[in-house]
Structure 1
Amino acid sequence: MNKIDFVITWVDSNDPAWQKEFKTYLPQNHCMNDIRTERYRNWDNLRYWFRGVEKFAPWVSKVHFVSCGQAPDWLNLNAPKLHFVKHSDYIPAEYLPTFSSRPIILNLHRIKELSEHFVIFDDDCFLIDKVEPERFFRKGLPCDMAAFNTISPIVPFAPKDYNNLCVINSSFKKHEMLRKNFWKWFSPQAGNKLLRTLFLLSWRNFTGFYSHHLPQGYLKSTLEEVWECHEEVMLRTTASRFRNITDVCPWVLRYWQLAKGNFVPLNVCRDGINILISEISLDKIVKIIERHKKKIICLSENDETPYEEAKEQINAAFQKILPEKSSFEK
């Protein structure tokens, strides 16, 4: 395994042309679509993502920067490791423009230059300390932490979890999978989450999977296989320009790898942390970044996030640990 690529998706919601197109395609009755402001908000910290990759993961083969055609003015499109990918380069024209990350990610296998082994980053996930390739792949397989869970429908868009499970349960037999991959599902790497798996063993079908919100490794062949087996639901999701309750979401790809046993057990939460900014003090977030308390940090937001204040303090912390320009910058 000599090549591991990174993929990051991005949108500049401050772009007037994008805003106009967004309003043009937004359905008049959009109550069934997820169009929350924080899904598109620009934190102006993308340069620190690239600096972190260059400093802490210099082994990466290629970075696929995916957008609708937008790129920040400072981005060096001629950087040796950068592949600038427009949605129109790989998503069929009849499904564009799209304002949902789901078709953008579910169709990544159509990028010809994409390596078989790649890691998907959301643009709110940053490297803040050195990581090795073995953090994402071992023995040619993605590293992941397998544990069962249950669907908790506490938010309006929980149906995506139900839709994902319909795909998985129609393709895999839970207890047959457990017999084949017993030591992967009962690995000490799962830590106290083993209890979830034990308590949910008696259910015949998959009731859910523990999900982390950290960069995840994938096999390109996984996407091709899911499309081959479930083209109808994948096309339906691709046709949704905005998040819709009939969609599957990209986690179905991870669940597929888990159900098939195509992973190596690893406690991915040991060196990574997912923070909901509104639920933790900004001082604590700044310390985690500046003191490199974790290797990977994901900074999630909601409608209660103090956007301007958080943006200023968090970006200042990134600047402190990553002050030098990367080759991805002009």
Structure 2
Amino acid sequence: MNRKSNFPIDFVVTWVDGNDDNWLKKRSLFDEKNADDKTKTRFRDYNLFNYWFRGVENYAPWVNKIYLVTDNQIPTWLNLNHPKLVWIDHKQIMSEINLPTFNSSAIEVNLKNIEDLSEHFVLFNDDMFLNAPVKASDFFWHDGKPRDSIGLNAIMPVEDFDHVVANNMIIINKKFDKFQVIKSNFFNFFNFKNGPLNVYTLLLLFLPRLTRFYDLHIPYSILKSEFTTVMSENNDLYELTSRNRFRSIQDITIWSVRYTQLAKGLFKPRRYNFGKFYDLTKTEIIVKDIKNSKHKVIDINDSDVISSQEFTELVYDLKNAFDIHLKHKSEFEL
């Protein structure tokens, strides 16, 4: 099967250097008492971002453009002259009245404003890495539908972010009837590629509303036209999220776009274990995954139980693991 696609597929990745003095000073100017960042872990920089680019060059050479979205920050080692790379400052996609922002949800709901962004794009965070060769059809099927895995899930409130998930689901339940969604997508919901997600769906099948879709926490394939439509139809929530400088229980996220694609059946089923979500407490397992390329994409999330000293040691272990397959500089590096 051809690794390329008949249509362009872009990658979009957001990045922040939480150690940057200028960024820290800017952040300190704003009231953080209502901010949903109880720890510094959300902004700790792994200093592994060069491996993200090495992974793209080695494992997805077919990508059309890479849009790097930052708050006027550029990695010192980055080659901005690479023909596939486009650097996007927040000012290019958000109203100045809403800047600066330290709210990842606000940034992501505005990615639709990237000039020349292709209809088909994949959204990465800077802690999501390609871990093995991937084909264009791993992200978008030949007919242009996003690849995804579907399963029902429930909101089990633990933290403030669960309010945001509920906000996304309000959008979905106002627009879609649960049983019509399942009827129209029966063989997507109950598909061997969904693995254990089939069990979650079965257990939640008879509840009257959609409680949540299962979130895999890996790069998401997004149709720009659906993205634009969802934000337009929910403009008040979009504008409110854009104004919130820090994460808020009032926010919506780009997940509302993914949920809409799933509810409409605008996707082609993909194996649930295509990617894997980890946090740094599982570093030993992550290192094995990287060495063996067990999953094609991995998300390495920080953890607030990891001290600064432990963080440095664990990131060093990750760097050594990445060096096994991605030791050599990419053309994205100076």
Indicate whether 1:110 and 2:113 are aligned: yes
Q: Which amino acid aligns with 1:73?
A: T
Aligned length: 325
The question of whether the paired residues in 1 share the 8 Å contact of 2:194 and 2:272 is answered with: no
Indicate whether 1:66 and 2:69 are aligned: yes
Determine the C-alpha separation between the residues in 2 that align with 1:111 and 1:156: 29
- Give the structure 2 partner of residue 203 of structure 1: 207
Determine the C-alpha separation between the residues in 1 that align with 2:276 and 2:40: 23
- Give the structure 1 partner of residue 157 of structure 2: 153
Aligned partner of residue 243 in structure 1, secondary structure: coil
Q: Which amino acid aligns with 2:302?
A: E
Aligned partner of residue 137 in structure 1, secondary structure: coil
Determine the C-alpha separation between the residues in 2 that align with 1:44 and 1:242: 23
Q: Which amino acid aligns with 1:148?
A: L
TM alignment of 1:217-228, pairs within 5 A? 217-228=221-232
Determine the C-alpha separation between the residues in 2 that align with 1:104 and 1:321: 32
Q: Which amino acid aligns with 1:106?
A: V
Q: Which amino acid aligns with 1:24?
A: L
- Give the structure 1 partner of residue 3 of structure 2: none
Q: Which amino acid aligns with 2:181?
A: M
Aligned partner of residue 18 in structure 1, secondary structure: helix
- Give the structure 2 partner of residue 273 of structure 1: 276
The question of whether the paired residues in 1 share the 8 Å contact of 2:132 and 2:295 is answered with: yes
Q: Which amino acid aligns with 1:61?
A: N
Aligned partner of residue 150 in structure 2, secondary structure: coil
The question of whether the paired residues in 1 share the 8 Å contact of 2:176 and 2:263 is answered with: yes
Residue from 26, 29, 36 that aligns with 1:21: 26
CA RMSD, Structure 1 to Structure 2 (Å): 1.3
Q: Which amino acid aligns with 1:326?
A: S
Residue from 2, 7, 18 that aligns with 2:12: 7
The question of whether the paired residues in 2 share the 8 Å contact of 1:106 and 1:234 is answered with: yes
The question of whether the paired residues in 1 share the 8 Å contact of 2:276 and 2:295 is answered with: yes
The question of whether the paired residues in 1 share the 8 Å contact of 2:131 and 2:290 is answered with: yes
The question of whether the paired residues in 1 share the 8 Å contact of 2:18 and 2:45 is answered with: yes
Residue from 312, 315, 333 that aligns with 1:311: 315
The offset of 1:2, in angstroms, is 1.8
Aligned partner of residue 274 in structure 1, secondary structure: strand
- Give the structure 1 partner of residue 124 of structure 2: 121
Determine the C-alpha separation between the residues in 1 that align with 2:262 and 2:39: 30
Aligned partner of residue 34 in structure 1, secondary structure: coil
The offset of 1:196, in angstroms, is 1.4
Indicate whether 1:258 and 2:262 are aligned: yes
Determine the C-alpha separation between the residues in 2 that align with 1:230 and 1:105: 15
Aligned partner of residue 140 in structure 1, secondary structure: coil
The offset of 1:265, in angstroms, is 1.0
Q: Which amino acid aligns with 2:149?
A: M
Determine the C-alpha separation between the residues in 2 that align with 1:38 and 1:110: 28
- Give the structure 1 partner of residue 49 of structure 2: 46
The offset of 1:147, in angstroms, is 0.7
The offset of 1:325, in angstroms, is 1.1
Indicate whether 1:79 and 2:82 are aligned: yes
Determine the C-alpha separation between the residues in 2 that align with 1:171 and 1:34: 32
The offset of 1:287, in angstroms, is 2.1
Indicate whether 1:168 and 2:172 are aligned: yes
Determine the C-alpha separation between the residues in 2 that align with 1:197 and 1:285: 28
Identity of aligned residues (%): 38
The offset of 1:35, in angstroms, is 4.8
Aligned partner of residue 33 in structure 1, secondary structure: coil
Determine the C-alpha separation between the residues in 1 that align with 2:267 and 2:7: 18
Determine the C-alpha separation between the residues in 1 that align with 2:248 and 2:135: 37
Aligned partner of residue 253 in structure 2, secondary structure: coil
